[in-house]
Structure 1
């Protein structure tokens, strides 16, 4: 899924009496950005192992399948975050703050969506077919989307935010709100948070049905989402630097979405695919995509 962003053209005048930081360029890459923090991954593994000891191998397999799914589907999401940060020229020193607010909002929204989804699936079994159709369509879009420069014009999300949020043309340190001409206005940093939140909502429409295709347990769905979301900041650092090297990862994600969609259809008609088999297929597909990408890069 590719988000097309509208060019940021806001004509609010700058207040002479208050020093506002002009839109800066993205800071050059620093060595520290290449150091990927792994505590979140270790915590997820420990949680999954503990879940296995408590509730059995089946629940642990469901958790790890959901976690790996969420992490893989986050790749497209984070690639869009990279584009959003570049588009709004957000300095690197402020990006972690924006991501922190985005992650907090994502946790609240996804919990709400998961609870509603679980209740709906329990009451209306045929909803599985709708979710399967969403996943199959998403898979098709991943295979049919053409590579190349992203068109950053006429995005509904950005245009809507610009319409309803009065925004300055400049940053004021790391503030979300500032004063210009005795009027309170949002800075581009707040607009960036809003666009990231709404973009994550759009991506959740794909990712949450995918995890429901692996397990119906809302606790497993939410916990796998939670651990994946908590690792977004670390994953963002990796993706922002290495996305262009993983050209076969997107088709692999498309294969995974197509598989989960077909699995949900088969489950509806009484043909069950085990969680262990699903976990193995997801892991193998993503691994093949990464390995092929690295092999192609080395040639």
Structure 2
């Protein structure tokens, strides 16, 4: 039988093996089947892979797996664990006509053409359309790349060709670090009580918007059980927002938050300031106060030092002072 039962990491798994002499050449392949499938499903998948492998090596047919098939499998198997599942699926559905029938093994020219279309100001019928930024394009292609990689991982396609995809590079680094005066002016212009409190908390904690809205206030600080880097953390409460932390309970929706924030920043004269910039402002304040980058990264919840390095240029003055002390006697 091409399907055999094995034990891997203490769990029962199925493995498919193919070993035949085809046109005087020995062909041997083996794959571990996805975890959690039944014996019947394993047999069906094994027979399917037998047929495809034999056809491929005899030249009868070249199997084509489309990106659309990869995406459907990825969504079916993994979307339950995605935090952004609704948004991701909506984006994939929007661009499905561009990838649904595309061979998942022929990615170079296709991705180049798709990037060109996404950047264009007109559609295929010549009608005007809004071009996507490189950041948005990269986001869409990243979803497709993940689906293709998953298809290869579970044995749907023979090889992973995603390295041949043309994906535009994006520099997401921002260099706006709001100072306390700017934060206060925006907060005073904000008419929504909860958003006004969030503005102050963001500046004095470095927390993201989503973290502020779901944080639990404890004796040790803002408790975050679920963060972007996957690790829980405690953010100490600054004395200047201690009262807000105790009294304000956030019930505002994301849409309401965005509307109130946009109105407040415009009224205060800072129409280009993003709420996330307050997090950068918090990092700037800590660094200017002499706090080392490692500690700043800990407060912000960075998982790697690379994330904190974006603030390294802020310590230039302190580095110059340190160099100037070389050779001095006490």
Which one scores higher on RCO, CA 8 angstroms, separation ≥ 6?
Answer: 1
Structure of larger gyration radius: 2
Structure with the bigger percentage of helix: 1
TM-score category, normalised to shorter length: under 0.3
